[in-house]
Amino acid sequence: MNVAFLVNDLQLSGGVGVVVEHARQLPRHGIEAALVLAREREDPDWRFRGLGEVEVLSLAQARERRFDVALATWWATTEPLFELPARRRAYFVQSLEDRFYRPDDPQRLGAALTHDLPVDVVTEARWIAETLEELRPDLRALLVRNGVAKDVFTPPAELDVRLHGPLRIVIEGNPHVWFKGVPEALAAVREMREPRHVTLVTGARDVDTTGADEVVGPLTHEEMAALYARSDVVLKLSRVEGMFGPPLEGFHLGATCVVTAVTGHEEYVEHGVNGLVVDWDDPRGTSRALDLLARDRALLHHLRCGALATARAWPSWEQAGTVMAAALREIARRPEPAAAPGAARAIADVRAAVEAQALVVAERDRLRYRVKPLERLDRVVERAPLRWLLAPLRRVWRRVRPT
């Protein structure tokens, strides 16, 4: 049996890293796996663990092959999915990717429509499977949890007790990505009253890092493991996730976490057992939770012990590869999904999007009509000899002026 994973690129990201790990595990189960680049080839980021063990093909090369199963792994790879000669096609869904875009971004609709495709679904989180099955009653998604590289993120035999010193906090993510919540995490640590040491892990350097004591990155897996081992808390205030990895990796090295109730956290975070779950957009409440951990070292140790217990029960990538192999064989065995239900859903979704956009356009037109007198005022102010006298009115106009 042979399979193809379609990827947009091989640049460093958590989602691509998951695909690479699955591809390198499948040969252990008698399944040949290749990565197919859906776009013109870019230089692969060879920091991915095991990428050198996996065959990488261009789309043109893949068209000359024949696969038993081809899988899209990102919404933009669903179009070339149907170009590959494959007996069966599937979609490895790591998040509902329309949520990565702002409401007025046209790519949001494009990502959402891909979930109407008449293909089988493999996913990494229970919430994704349940959501898609609710949207598509004909679907039975196959759940394959992400593994953890236990040879890198190796749980310690015993957990040290940390009674003294500042609370050591790790914040990880790209501050430019709005849904990662990095600026919010930095705002929370700035409001702390107790001693702390904050490490921000990011490749970006052109951002405000006030609140961080040190900025490092990008780091290798081994360097991240060493950082988690000397840290107490992984602080992650994401707005959108599929099944985020950093807190779980931190669990393996004895760090607890403070996180928002983002989708995917329920896969392994239990409030008061192995971490703390805080409210949205509440930097003061988050800082108070962190101050509590800094003061109450018994609670900190209790949560770290719970985190380590969770980590020891979590599957390795070798175990996750076994489940992925079973899921791919199940897809190959199943009858192909009917096309008609997906087409009907896609048409309904397009109609709903058109109606929603029509409402947006109508509202903008209404606002423009209401501010026409203010536009005339703006032109008068520009020509007025004493325009500084009318400057306050102009400032008011610019605040209410629609874009």
Q: What CATH number does the domain containing 38 carry?
A: 3.40.50.11090
Q: Which of 337, 372, 390 is the last residue of a domain?
A: 337
Share of the chain above pLDDT 70, in %: 89
Report yes or no on 123 lying in a domain.
yes
Quote the CA–CA distance of 244 and 287 in Å, as a whole number. Answer: 22
Residue 297 maps to which CATH number? 3.40.50.2000
Domain presence at residue 175:
yes
Give the pLDDT band of residue 131 (cuts 50, 70, 90). very high
Asked whether residue 241 is assigned to any structural domain, the reply reads yes
Average pLDDT over residues 198-221: 92
Same domain for 47 and 173? no
Peptide bond into 218 cis (omega under 30): yes
What are residue 137's phi and psi, to 5 degrees? -60, -20
Q: Do residues 135 and 10 both lie within one domain?
A: yes
Number of domain units in the chain: 3
What does the alpha-carbon distance between residue 331 and residue 159 come to, in Å, rounded to a whole number? 42
Residue 157 counted as domain residue: no
Q: Report yes or no on 155 lying in a domain.
A: no
69 burial type by CB count under 10 A (0-12 exposed, 13-18 middle, 19+ buried): buried
Closest CA to 2 of 70, 65, 87, 67: 67
- What angle is formed at CA 207 by the lines to CA 256 and CA 246, rounded to 5 degrees? 25
Residue in the block written with tokens 């099944």: 243
Does residue 208 register a pLDDT over 70? yes
Name the token pair of 363: 């509202």
Q: Are the CB atoms for 111 and 77 separated by under 8 Å?
A: no
Residues 308 and 327 in one domain: no
311-356 pLDDT, tens digit per residue, is: 999 999 999 999 999 999 999 999 888 877 777 887 887 788 778 7
Does residue 136 sit in the same domain as residue 175? no
Considering the domain boundaries, does residue 156 fall inside one? no
Q: In terms of domains, do 381 and 291 share one?
A: no
User: Which tens digit of pLDDT belongs to each residue from 16-49?
Assistant: 889 999 999 999 999 999 999 988 765 555 556 6
Same-domain status, 326 and 379: no
Least confident among 111-120, 179-188, 374-383: 374-383
What φ, ψ does residue 341 adopt, rounded to 5°?
-60, -40
pTM: 0.84
- Round to whole Å and give the CA distance between 268 and 19: 21
**Helices 339-383 & 106-113 angle (0-180, nearest 10):** 170
Does residue 230 share a domain with residue 140? no
Contacts of 49 (CB under 8 A, 6+ apart): 17, 20, 21, 149, 152, 221
Cα(331)–Cα(250) distance, rounded to whole angstroms? 33
According to DSSP, the β-strands at 256-260 and 276-278 are parallel
Kindly state whether residues 101 and 187 are assigned to the same domain.
no
Q: What integer pLDDT is reported at residue 204 of this predicted model?
A: 86
Host domain of residue 219:
167-314
CA angle 28, 34, 36 (to 5 degrees): 160
Average pLDDT over residues 156-171: 96
Whether residue 15 is predicted with pLDDT greater than 80 in this model: the reply is: yes
Domain annotation covers residue 162: no
Mark whether 6 and 66 lie in a shared domain. yes
SS3 of 233-291: the string is EEEECCCCCCCCCHHHHHHHCCCEEEEECCCCHHHCCCECCCEEEECCCCHHHHHHHHH
Instruction: Please check whether residue 345 lies inside any domain of the structure.
Output: no
Burial bucket for residue 348 (CB in 10 Å: 0-12, 13-18, 19+): exposed
Domain end, chosen from 337, 371, 389, is at: 337
Residues 108 and 192 in one domain: no
Q: Residues 103-122: what's their mean pLDDT?
A: 89
Residues 309, 195 within the same domain: yes
Residues 182 and 48 in one domain: no
> Would you say residue 390 has pLDDT above 70?
no
